[in-house]
Structure 1
Amino acid sequence: MIFLQYGQIDVVDGAFVLIDKTGIRTHIPVGSVACIMLEPGTRVSHAAIKLASTVGTLLVWVGEAGVRLYAAGQPGGARSDRLLYQAKLALDEDLRLKVVRKMFELRFGEAAPSRRSVDQLRGIEGSRVRSTYKMLAKEYGVKWYGRRYDPKDWEAGDVVNQCISAATACLYGITEAAVLAAGYAPAIGFIHTGKPLSFVYDVADIVKFEAVVPKAFEIAARVPTYPDREVRLACRDIFRTTHLLARLIPLIEEVLAAGEIEPPPPPSDAQPIAIPEPESLGDAGHRSS
C-alpha cells in the first residue's frame, strides 16, 4: 500500500503516474499495489480510476496520513471469500467468542477470563477502559468527569472529551482504510455489532490506548484553542512515524485467525506487497506508509 499526495494522478502512455506541480512524473506500479491512499492535494483522472479498477487496486480518499476516510472505490479484483470468512466467524457464537477473546488478549496483554460470554467480556473491557481514562487524567493533570459527549453537538463536550473524540475519529479513519484494503467488511463486528463501522471499532480499540488517547489527554492538558485541529495533526504524525497502517492488516488477520478456521488463500498470482519507507519513492509528492 502507498500514500499519494500533491499531484495529478493520470494515465500517460499506458502508465499510472503521479504528476507534480513541476511536471515531473512518478510511475506507480498500480498492478502490484493492493491499495492507494489518496491524501489531500491529489486529483485523479477518469482514466486512472478505470485502470485501477481493471487491475483490482483499491483507491481510498483519506485525510493526511489517513486521519479521515472520506470515500473508497470498489476494487475490481475483490473476491467474496474474505467477506464470507468474516461473516462465518461472526455468526457462529463459539467462533465469535474465540475472536473476542483474542481481541481482549491483544488489548490488555493477558488472556481473557475463562468461561465468560461476549457480553461479560464487553463489561470487563468497559470497566478497564473507564479505569484507564481516570489514570490518564491523573497522569496529565486533567479534570475528568467521565466519557461524555454528544455526536450531534461538538461544543457540548469539555476539552478533554473533544480531544478524545477527535483522536478516535482519526484512528477510525485509518483503521477503516486497513479493513477495506484487507478485503473485509467494516460493518461485520464481533464485540461491536449493528453499526456501519462495528469491525472498525473492534480493531481500533485494540490499539487506541497505545498512542492516540494518551496524546489526546496530553493536548487537553494545554487547553488548546482548537483542540480538534491539534489532535488531528498529532495523530497524523503518530500514524506516519509509527507506520500504524502497516501494523493494522496483520493485526486484523491475527485476530480473525483466532477463530481457528482456514482463512481464504491469497490469489494464485499474488505477490508480497512491500511497504517502503517514505524516502524510497522519491520526492515527487509521493508518500508511503
Structure 2
Amino acid sequence: MKDYAGARKPELLELPRVDDRITFVYVEHAKINRQDSAITVTDSRGVARVPAAMVSVLMLGPGTEITHRAMELIGDTGTSVIWVGERGVRLYAHGRALTRSSRLLERQAKLVSNRLSRLAVARKMYQLRFPNEDVSNLTMQQLRGREGARIRRVYREYSKRFGVKWARREYDPSDFESGSLINQALSAANVALYGLVYSVITAIGLAPGLGFIHTSHELSFVYDIADLYKAATSILVAFEVASQTGPEEDIGRKVRLKMRDAFVDGRIIKAIVKDTQYLLDVDDEPADEEKVDIIHLWDDKSELVKYGVNYSKFN
C-alpha cells in the first residue's frame, strides 16, 4: 500500500484539550484544503494557514468547498465542523467530536431519563442565572416565568445603555435581511454561541439532543447551555454592534468578530466545561479510560466484560 504524504495521525493525548483551543473560525466563499498539520483557506485575498488542532469549531458558510484531505485532518484532530447559512445565521449540519469515551454521555442519558434527576439538573441551570436566589422549591412553570422576566429586563437595559430601539425578538430564519438591525445582530450572535457550545459539549462526549429544559430537538442541550451565557455574550454583543453599525454594513461579520473576542475575553470555553461538569455532577479530570480507545461489552451480571474475546468457548 502506498504511504500517505504529510503528517501522521496524532494520538489523543497529543491533542490540545477543548478548553485550550480558540473558539471558532468562520469561512465563506473559499476553498479549504490541507497542508501538513494545517488546513489552508484560499479565497480572493490569498491563502491562510490554520492549525486545525487549535480550533474548537470550523463554521462553513455559503460558497465553501472542502477537500477530503482537509476533512481527514479535521477528524483526526477532533475539530468540530458545522455547516451554516449565509453570515452564519442557520445551522444545517455538523461533524464529529473529540472524545472517544461514552462516560459523560451515559451520565447525561441517566439524568435526563429520570423525572426527578432531570428536574434537579434543570433547577441547577436556573440557579446559575439567579445566583442570589433560592430556586430549589420553584416549579418549572415558575422558573420559566422568572427567566422570561430576566431576559426582558436584559433587553431593556441594553437598549437603554446602547441607545438601540427595541420592540421584541422577531426574525425569519429563512430571510436574514428581513429583520431589524438589532434582530439581525441577535441572530448572528446566537448562532456563533450555539456553534461554540455545540463544539464544546460534543468534544467532551455529550449529546446535543438530550436537553433538560429544551426538548424534542436535535440541539436541545445546546440551547440549554447557551442560555446560561446569552445575557453576557450574544445579547450584549448584538446591542453593542448594532449601535455602531449602519444599514449598509455587514452586521453579521461584525458580530462574529466581536463574539470571537467576547469568547476569548470571557474564557467562555472553560466556563462551558466547568458549568456542564457541575450540572451533571461529574469529575473535573477525565478518567484514565477516556484518554485512550477502550471498548467493553455490557453484561447483565458483571456490567462490563472484555471486548475482542470469542466467548463461545465459555458456553
- 2:182 corresponds to which residue? 160
- 1:195 corresponds to which residue? 217
* Change beyond 3 A, Cα 1:230–1:112: farther
C-alpha displacement of 1:155: 5.0
Amino acid at match of 1:142: V
For the 8 Å contact 2:57–2:199, the answer to whether it is kept is no
TM normalised by structure 1 equals 0.69
2:230 to 208, 212, 216: 208
- 2:34 corresponds to which residue? 10
**Secondary structure class of the residue paired with 2:136:** coil
- 2:276 corresponds to which residue? 255
TM normalised by structure 2 equals 0.64
- 1:143 corresponds to which residue? 165
C-alpha displacement of 1:115: 0.8
1:173 paired to 2:191: no
For the 8 Å contact 1:34–1:58, the answer to whether it is kept is yes
C-alpha displacement of 1:144: 2.6
**Secondary structure class of the residue paired with 1:233:** helix
**Secondary structure class of the residue paired with 1:142:** coil
1:88 to 110, 114, 121: 110
* Change beyond 3 A, Cα 1:214–1:150: same
Q: What CA distance in whole angstroms lies between the structure 2 residues aligned with 1:56 and 1:24?
A: 18
1:238 to 259, 283, 289: 259
1:46 to 38, 46, 68: 68
2:125 to 100, 103, 108: 103
Gaps (5+ residues) in structure 1?
272-289
**Secondary structure class of the residue paired with 1:201:** helix
**Secondary structure class of the residue paired with 1:206:** coil
Q: Which has the larger radius of gyration?
A: 2
- 2:138 corresponds to which residue? 116
**Which stretch has the larger CA shift, 136-145 or 38-47?**
38-47
Q: What CA distance in whole angstroms lies between the structure 2 residues aligned with 1:18 and 1:182?
A: 23
- 1:209-235 residue CA offsets vs partner (Å, 9 max, x unmatched): 1132123223334562157x3244233
- 1:283 corresponds to which residue? none
C-alpha displacement of 1:150: 3.6
* Change beyond 3 A, Cα 1:145–1:26: closer
* Change beyond 3 A, Cα 1:127–1:245: closer
**Secondary structure class of the residue paired with 1:85:** helix
Q: What CA distance in whole angstroms lies between the structure 1 residues aligned with 2:211 and 2:115?
A: 12
For the 8 Å contact 1:178–1:248, the answer to whether it is kept is yes
- 2:16 corresponds to which residue? none
- 2:289 corresponds to which residue? 268
Q: What CA distance in whole angstroms lies between the structure 2 residues aligned with 1:18 and 1:154?
A: 29
Count how many residue pairs are aligned between Structure 1 and Structure 2: 261
C-alpha displacement of 1:126: 1.0
- 1:190-214 residue CA offsets vs partner (Å, 9 max, x unmatched): 1211122211111111111113212
- 1:134 corresponds to which residue? 156
* Change beyond 3 A, Cα 1:142–1:91: same
C-alpha displacement of 1:250: 4.6
**Secondary structure class of the residue paired with 2:227:** helix
Q: What CA distance in whole angstroms lies between the structure 1 residues aligned with 2:70 and 2:192?
A: 27
- 1:86-108 residue CA offsets vs partner (Å, 9 max, x unmatched): 12222222222232232223334
**Secondary structure class of the residue paired with 1:37:** strand
Q: What CA distance in whole angstroms lies between the structure 2 residues aligned with 1:96 and 1:23?
A: 48
* Change beyond 3 A, Cα 1:36–1:208: closer
Q: What CA distance in whole angstroms lies between the structure 2 residues aligned with 1:153 and 1:17?
A: 35
Amino acid at match of 1:164: L
* Change beyond 3 A, Cα 1:57–1:260: closer
Gaps (5+ residues) in structure 2?
1-20, 293-315
* Change beyond 3 A, Cα 1:132–1:59: closer
* Change beyond 3 A, Cα 1:236–1:219: closer
Amino acid at match of 1:215: V
Q: What CA distance in whole angstroms lies between the structure 1 residues aligned with 2:105 and 2:288?
A: 15
**Secondary structure class of the residue paired with 1:236:** helix
For the 8 Å contact 1:137–1:217, the answer to whether it is kept is yes
- 1:162-187 residue CA offsets vs partner (Å, 9 max, x unmatched): 32223222222222222222222211
For the 8 Å contact 1:58–1:72, the answer to whether it is kept is no
Q: What CA distance in whole angstroms lies between the structure 1 residues aligned with 2:202 and 2:51?
A: 24
Amino acid at match of 1:190: F
- 1:79 corresponds to which residue? 101
Amino acid at match of 1:180: T
- 1:131-158 residue CA offsets vs partner (Å, 9 max, x unmatched): 2212222222333322233434545543
